[in-house]
Amino acid sequence: MKKDRKPQFETMAIHAGYSPKNHHDSLTPPIYQTSTFTFSTMEQGARRFAGMEDGYIYSRLSNPTVEVLEERMAILEEGEAALAFGSGMAAVSATLIGLTKKNDHILCSKGLYGCTYGLLQLLKEKYQINYSFSELSAADEILSNIQENTTCIYIETPINPTMKVIDLALVARIAKEKGIKVVVDNTFLTPYLQKPLTLGCDLVIHSGTKYIGGHGDVIAGIIVGSQEIIDYLKRTTQKDIGGIISPFDAWLLLRGIKTLAVRMDRHCENAEKLHALLKNHPKIKAVYYPGDKGHPDFKMMTRQMKKGGGVLSFEIDGTYEDAVKFVNALKLIPIAVSLGDAETLIQHPASMTHSSVPEEARLKMGISNQLLRLSVGLEAWEDIWEDLKQALDSL
């Protein structure tokens, strides 16, 4: 092995950011379940507050367990630094509040996580921070949607739940010329499948609740980016709004990350199998999956995504009542929002995750009353398919 060769993703997911010798030789990172840290002398306390001496002060400012998670996520996303939060929305709000000021404009991908949309409305009503949506599909279209006061482009790709993919390198190139920051919500793909920072984007956000944690037992969020932006967010919107993660939840994420690569491989493999089977079932009108080789944007997708991910959406060929009947006939697959868990989960965006979007806007986004979103889990794909098939056959 060459001496300067960097360890690969799978290896870093297990080792990066942690050294047992700094923690009493503990194999796994200890949970530093403490609110505060003691100073040996008054002078030492003063030096730490003045930033003249490294060391911990108080767990809202930094905590050793949380720091291992932040360092590991920064390395996996190929960013300089990271911050962990108590939820994905705490990370989204700390970012958008931190990056914008009154009368700024945020340009967004057409299709956003429901609560991100809610936050944008709040920022507009209370703080006059404006937003609009764009397909972000081609250079001239992007340029025509950028305004004088646009300071931030906020992207989800693939877009939930329609699975449309945005060309991140293209958006980043245009944004850079204009001095606009590009923020990408990378929750659906994780750094194992897509690394927006390497494509020129400025910040990556995760709902750690999903694939990063991976076991449906924790709510968490993460931001990764340059040292400069992360330092700024750390001493402003993280410290003073305070949406931090607990040491125990950070530890759960660290445990989840160790198996991220093997889990994602299986999520993708299962999703590819189910995509092919669903596509050919007579009761299915359409299946939306970024790993679809027949997709017109497939070439661009393969440039920025390693695989298609573990989430797909499909439309029942029938009425809303057929969709209800189908979902209620499932025996193995639980009905639940969230995604990225070991369990396959199904949900109905029109009445659940996107129920707050007005009907006309929702239909324009491609979310019909017959559309269902499947987060493909880690069960044997044959068993997932058998459940889907028996429910489809009951229609």
Ligand X SMILES: *Cc1c(COP(=O)(O)O)cnc(C)c1O
Which residues are at the interface with ligand X (CB under 6 A)? 87-89, 113, 156, 160, 185, 187, 207, 209-210, 219, 221
Q: Which residue is nearest to ligand X (CB)?
A: 88
Block residue for tokens 């299962």: 270
**Among residues 48 and 164, whose Cβ is nearest to ligand X?**
164
> What is d(CA 266, CA 86) in angstroms, rounded to the nearest whole number?
27
**69, two tokens:** 């998670």
**Among residues 305 and 392, whose Cβ is nearest to ligand X?**
305
Taking the complex as a whole, how short is the minimal distance between the CB of residue 70 and ligand X, in angstroms?
16
**25, two tokens:** 């030789």
Work out the number of other CB atoms within 10 angstroms of the CB of residue 42: 8
> What is d(CA 230, CA 63) in angstroms, rounded to the nearest whole number?
16
**Among residues 30 and 216, whose Cβ is nearest to ligand X?**
216
Question: Residue 313: helix, strand or coil by DSSP?
Answer: strand
**Among residues 224 and 391, whose Cβ is nearest to ligand X?**
224
**Among residues 62 and 160, whose Cβ is nearest to ligand X?**
160
Taking the complex as a whole, how short is the minimal distance between the CB of residue 341 and ligand X, in angstroms?
12
Distance from CA of residue 282 to its chain's centroid? 33
> What is d(CA 292, CA 343) in angstroms, rounded to the nearest whole number?
23
Taking the complex as a whole, how short is the minimal distance between the CB of residue 153 and ligand X, in angstroms?
16
CB 202 within 8 A of CB 55: no
Taking the complex as a whole, how short is the minimal distance between the CB of residue 211 and ligand X, in angstroms?
10
- How do 221-225 and 284-288 pair as beta strands? unpaired
**139, two tokens:** 């250079």
**Among residues 95 and 270, whose Cβ is nearest to ligand X?**
95
Taking the complex as a whole, how short is the minimal distance between the CB of residue 219 and ligand X, in angstroms?
5
Q: At what angle do helices 114-127 and 88-99 cross, to 10 degrees?
A: 30
**Among residues 17 and 88, whose Cβ is nearest to ligand X?**
88
Which residues partner with 183 through β-bridges? 154, 203
Taking the complex as a whole, how short is the minimal distance between the CB of residue 370 and ligand X, in angstroms?
22
Taking the complex as a whole, how short is the minimal distance between the CB of residue 320 and ligand X, in angstroms?
24
> What is d(CA 163, CA 247) in angstroms, rounded to the nearest whole number?
34
CB-based burial label for 162 (10 Å; 0-12, 13-18, 19+)? middle
> What is d(CA 18, CA 28) in angstroms, rounded to the nearest whole number?
9
Taking the complex as a whole, how short is the minimal distance between the CB of residue 187 and ligand X, in angstroms?
4
**Among residues 89 and 193, whose Cβ is nearest to ligand X?**
89
